[in-house]
Structure 1
Amino acid sequence: MSITDFLTDLFNPNLAFLPKALAIAVMSSIVCGVVGCYVVLRGMAFIGDAVAHAVFPGIAVAFVLQGSLVLGGAVAGVATALLIAIFSQNRRVKEDSIIGVFLVGAFALGIVIISQAPGYAGSLQQFLFGSITGIADRDLYVVGGAGLVILGLVLALHKEFVAVCLDREMSRSMGLSVFWLDIVLYVLVTLAVVISLQTIGTILVLALLITPAAAARLLTDRLGVMMLLAPVIGGSAAVVGLYLSWSYDTPVGGTIVLIATAVFLAAWLLAPRHGLLTKRWRRVSGKDLAGSARPSSLSNPSSRQEPSPASR
């Protein structure tokens, strides 16, 4: 399918779900790209995975009650994030163990709940892998509003988040409330995950949160530039992924994730300073330059010293 045909379908009244899917995919990718920068800096990818599974029971309850899936997932995700933050204060059990307990527990609860609904098998597949056909107008407004709230909180608490991500003990000595900042960050990760579920699903949403931010981390050493690059990479992956999915009839979520992964691999190999091939090329070029600049008395006749008149 050509780009012109894709644009024609976007404005086709009979395909009203397509522009909605594009809008939600781009908005969620931008939000996940921004929030994902803190996740990558702090090395808390496991948190994102836990939240992605923790929202499932809320979505299942909302599906059974015919309510808003976004709202149901947000409530369950925030509740789980709070429990993780509270239980993690007991240093007897490490944070990753606490996350693992709530991850599998919440996901199992969601499976039990949704299994009570008729025709749950198809719905379960939709929740796991996403669907672009079931997007309602209210979900579009909810995602847009939630995205603005998330970006507003990120802008307001950016310095505090960076301090906690880089050095928690130093942040405590500076008088920052690390516990409450953890909770706010967990909640933001939860909301970013929830608004991305309908287009990408619970299985793949972690990639939207981590991959663009990781690629941006390879491309720059400046946090401000990283937080600009990550949403650009995520949003571009959403647009290209939806176009390819619509053209070749492939799953939307999987296609978007593959595009983002391809960008990450390209950055891993070709990033200006940290790319693998770039480093090797720079190393080889440096050796060549050093070798050509080193004088050699064997190859350069002029470098041989003639005996002085006094020594003749």
Structure 2
Amino acid sequence: MQEIISLLGFSFFSNAVIAGLLTSIIAGIAGTYIVSRKIVFISGGITHASFGGIGLAYFLGLNPFFGAAVFAVLSALGIEWSTQKAQVREDSAIAILWSLGMAIGIIFVFLTPGYAPNLMSFLFGNILTVTTTDIITMLALTVLLIAGITLFYRLILYIAFDQEYTKTLGFNTTIVRYIISIIIALSIVMSIRVAGIILLLSLFTIPQAIANIFTHDFKKMIFISIAFSFLGVLTGLIGSYYFNLPSGAIIIFTLIIFWSILKVTIKLFRTH
């Protein structure tokens, strides 16, 4: 325990803890909306499509996360437009953009001159590589999410559960959905450092599944999701440091263990 406390004196470790907290808040808010609206696989499509931006950014010599953000936002808007305007089935639109993004990413990574970059941190996450710039960006997005959910809580709640009712109130649900999709896309990109592209979807769904064991209230789900996300992130951070393993894998494994234990415990408690 003393060693862990002493580690906080190192900037890379303290940065990782702060980033873990901010990511937990981001995933807690955005993930609760995703799960409530039952669009889990849309977020999966956005996550994997962002790999195309990473590959293209490497090829052009740009920041990979800038490329990921551009592709994530375009994918989110593309899915919404395809399902609403082009009358493409939602699952088909997700599959097309998911595959397209991954294919573009792979092509440009191999077209990049010289040694192919190490993509492990993007695919599986490495929270120990978070920089001060990353934290500032995460903080800005966290403030935006908190402000948005505070000011427009009822509108977001209506959109998540009953869009037809929202229309009767006079709101333009199409514009609102586009805006929320952009915010979700940015939330996903900001969380890649922690869980990685392959495992990121779980960070936006498993804590919410745990929260669902205790409550179905939207607001309470957000707070419980944040708490379990941060607990999982801390476990992943410590495990990543001691065992030199990808943080994302440990985080998701830990969250699944939490979910399994709580599910079995609650079931046994109700049985008796």
Structure 1 and Structure 2 fold alike (TM over 0.5): yes
- Secondary structure of the corresponding residue to residue 216 of structure 2: coil
1:75 has 2:70 as partner? yes
In structure 2, stretches of 5+ residues that fail to align are: none
1:100 has 2:95 as partner? yes
The counterpart of 2:43, out of the listed 48, 58, 75, is: 48
Give 1:149 shift: 1.6
Going by fraction, where is helix more abundant, 1 or 2? 2
Give 1:90 shift: 4.0
Which residue in 2 is equivalent to 1:125? Answer: 120
1:262 has 2:257 as partner? yes
Give the letter for the 2:180 counterpart. L
State the distance in 2 between where 1:119 and 1:161 align: 46
Cα pair 1:61 1:114 within 8 Å, conserved: yes
State the distance in 1 between where 2:20 and 2:105 align: 24
Greater Rg over alpha carbons, structure: 1
Cα pair 1:34 1:213 within 8 Å, conserved: no
Identity of aligned residues (%): 24
CA 1:72 to 1:157, structure 2 compared with 1: closer, same or farther past 3 Å? farther
Give the letter for the 1:239 counterpart. L
The counterpart of 1:205, out of the listed 177, 180, 200, is: 200
Which residue in 2 is equivalent to 1:111? Answer: 106
State the distance in 1 between where 2:147 and 2:57 align: 27
CA 1:202 to 1:239, structure 2 compared with 1: closer, same or farther past 3 Å? same
1:23 has 2:18 as partner? yes
Which residue in 1 is equivalent to 2:136? Answer: 141
Give the letter for the 2:24 counterpart. S
Q: How many residues in Structure 1 have an aligned counterpart in Structure 2?
A: 271
Which residue in 1 is equivalent to 2:213? Answer: 218
State the distance in 1 between where 2:157 and 2:30 align: 12
Give 1:49 shift: 0.5
Give 1:203 shift: 0.4
1:174 has 2:180 as partner? no
Give 1:95 shift: 1.2
Give the letter for the 1:119 counterpart. Y
Give the letter for the 1:96 counterpart. D
State the distance in 2 between where 1:114 and 1:177 align: 40
Residues 75-107 of structure 1: CA deviation (Å, up to 9, x unaligned): 211111111111111474321211111111111
In structure 1, stretches of 5+ residues that fail to align are: 282-312
Which residue in 2 is equivalent to 1:8? Answer: 6
- CA-based RMSD of the aligned residues comes to 1.9
State the distance in 2 between where 1:115 and 1:180 align: 38
State the distance in 1 between where 2:23 and 2:227 align: 12
- Secondary structure of the corresponding residue to residue 11 of structure 1: coil
Give the letter for the 1:189 counterpart. I
State the distance in 2 between where 1:226 and 1:129 align: 26
Cα pair 1:53 1:107 within 8 Å, conserved: yes
Cα pair 2:121 2:246 within 8 Å, conserved: no
Residues 167-208 of structure 1: CA deviation (Å, up to 9, x unaligned): 122222222222122212211221111111112210011111
Give the letter for the 1:93 counterpart. V
Query: Which aligned pairs between 1:78-89 and structure 2 lie closer than 5 A?
Result: 78-89=73-84
State the distance in 2 between where 1:278 and 1:185 align: 39
State the distance in 1 between where 2:87 and 2:250 align: 42
Which residue in 2 is equivalent to 1:154? Answer: 149
State the distance in 2 between where 1:67 and 1:180 align: 31
Give 1:237 shift: 1.1
TM-score by length of 1: 0.81
State the distance in 1 between where 2:243 and 2:142 align: 30
Give 1:256 shift: 0.9
Give 1:133 shift: 4.8
The counterpart of 1:244, out of the listed 232, 239, 259, is: 239
TM-score by length of 2: 0.92
Cα pair 2:210 2:225 within 8 Å, conserved: yes
State the distance in 1 between where 2:148 and 2:270 align: 38
